[in-house]
Amino acid sequence: SAVISQKPSRDICQRGTSLTIQCQVDSQVTMMFWYRQQPGQSLTLIATANQGSEATYESGFVIDKFPISRPNLTFSTLTVSNMSPEDSSIYLCSVEARRGYTFGSGTRLTVV
C-alpha cells in the first residue's frame, strides 16, 4: 500500500498569509485528493489533482483560495491563501491504494 509523507504536520499562521502543504507518495499515482477537516467535523473533499491537468474543485472551493500543484505522479501541494481564522482545520491528502484510500498524517493549521 502507498505511503504518504505530508508536511508540515502543524503550523500557526498569521491571517492574510499563505501556507503550502506538501504530500509526497512513495509510488506513482494518477490522482491525489485533498480534504479539509474542520474542528470536530468530518472530512470534506476540496479537490482532485491529476498530473498534467488542472485540479477539479468541489462546490464551495475555488482555485484562487486553494491553488494546487501536481508536477509529477508522486507529489502534490495545496496552498491555503489569504488565510483567515475560519481556515483553521486539518488538511489531509489521500491517494487510492489497493484496498481503499491511504491518507497522509494531516496538517493541523491554526490561523491567528
Partner 1 sequence: AQTVTQSQPEMSVQEAETVTLSCTYDTSENNYYLFWYKQPPSRQMILVIRQEAYKQQNATENRFSVNFQKAAKSFSLKISDSQLGDTAMYFCAFMKQIQGAQKLVFGQGTRLTINP
Counting contacts by CB under 8 A, is residue 92 touching partner 1?
Answer: yes
- The alpha carbon of 45 is separated from its chain's Cα centroid by a whole number of angstroms, namely 9
Nearer to partner 1, 14 or 53 (CB): 53
Residue 37: helix, strand or coil by DSSP?
strand
**Stretch of 19-27, 34-42, 65-73, 81-89 lying at the interface with partner 1 (CB under 8 A):** 34-42
CA distance 19 to 32: 19
Counting contacts by CB under 8 A, is residue 53 touching partner 1?
Answer: no
Counting contacts by CB under 8 A, is residue 101 touching partner 1?
Answer: yes
Closest CA to 32 of 6, 65, 8, 11: 6
Cell of 107: 496538517
Number of residues that bind partner 1 (CB under 8 A): 23
Alpha helices (H) along the chain = none
Counting contacts by CB under 8 A, is residue 96 touching partner 1?
Answer: yes
Residues that bind partner 1 (CB under 8 A): 31, 33, 37, 41-45, 48, 56, 90, 92, 94, 96-97, 99-103, 105-106, 108
